[in-house]
Amino acid sequence: MLSSLQSALVVVFSVAGALILVAALNRMWPSDHRKLLNDVTGWQLGVLGTTYGVILGFMLFTVWEGFRAAQIDADLEASSMLNVYRLAEGLPSPQRERMQDLARRYEMAVVEQEWPAMQHQIEDRSGSVMLGNMWKVLATLQVDSATLATSVDHIQYAMSELAERRNMRDQQRTNELPALLWLLLILGGVATIVSSCLLGNDKKWLHYCQVGALTFVIITALAGIADLARPYEGAVAVEPSAFVRALEAMKPLHESQ
């Protein structure tokens, strides 16, 4: 996934390439001659641009919704583990201390190991180990009262919610746009930009500005789609801030014990 600098360079070089194409056309095919075709190419560009704009906007909206869903799932995952930590207060010793220790270690593993790994498309299962150990701790409990049974039920529910959000994070990490969609987006963008270059305009500076602005919008939108489609990578990525806040919330409870 491209960094902010790399994305900016792609936009700059794309705009420069489009302007160079306009300059080359002006030398090889004067704008006075191209103006004769404006009545034909103009409405074709309008149809092409409108169709491509709808596709581009829909794809940008779709990946943004996916990015927001990834943020929400990460927040809920961190909150679920914080709930487990708090609900563990109702367990007897030593299971209480063990569960709370594993909850803190889970949040730390996500922040320090899993998140950096996701940024490089590397699978890290450190949190899964902690979660598995927590289920083992619950299995060792002797439920001999209604109060304890209620606490265990609530913890199991919170851990089930956490596991579901974790699975969603794993799926979002590996999701990517199909190659066919990328082909459509890229070829549609090239066709739209080249079509705008073919138009004839007496005011060359205005034509350069129009082509440059169109290219900037299209390439920036494509870079945004590429970045948002992978919510845990790139210049714009979901941050583990919810897990950091959960760790901070656990500290006072831990220190008071």
The pTM for the full model equals 0.83
Q: What is the pLDDT along the chain (257 residues), one digit of tens a residue?
A: 667 788 889 999 999 999 999 888 888 887 776 776 666 677 677 788 889 999 999 999 999 999 999 999 999 999 999 999 999 988 888 889 999 999 999 999 999 999 999 988 888 888 899 999 999 998 888 888 888 889 889 999 999 999 999 999 988 888 888 899 999 999 999 999 988 887 877 778 888 898 999 999 999 999 999 999 989 987 788 999 999 999 999 876 555 55
Distance between the two ends of the chain, CA-based, in angstroms? 44
List of long-range contacts for 41-45, beta carbons under 8 Å, 24+ apart: 41/195, 41/198, 41/199, 42/199, 44/195, 45/192, 45/195, 45/196, 45/199
- Residue range(s) defining the domain that contains residue 79: 4-255
CA 156, CA 91: separation in Å to the nearest integer?
12
Q: Which residues of 225-250 are buried (b: 16+ CB within 10 A; e: fewer)?
A: bbbbbbbbbbeebbebebbeebbebb
Are 78 and 107 in contact by the 8 Å Cβ rule? The answer is yes
Q: What's the structural domain count of the chain?
A: 1
pLDDT of residue 176: 82
CA 89, CA 173: separation in Å to the nearest integer?
33
pLDDT of residue 120: 84
- Residue 207: is it exposed, middle or buried by C-beta count within 10 angstroms (0-12/13-18/19+)? buried
* DSSP conformation class of 92: P
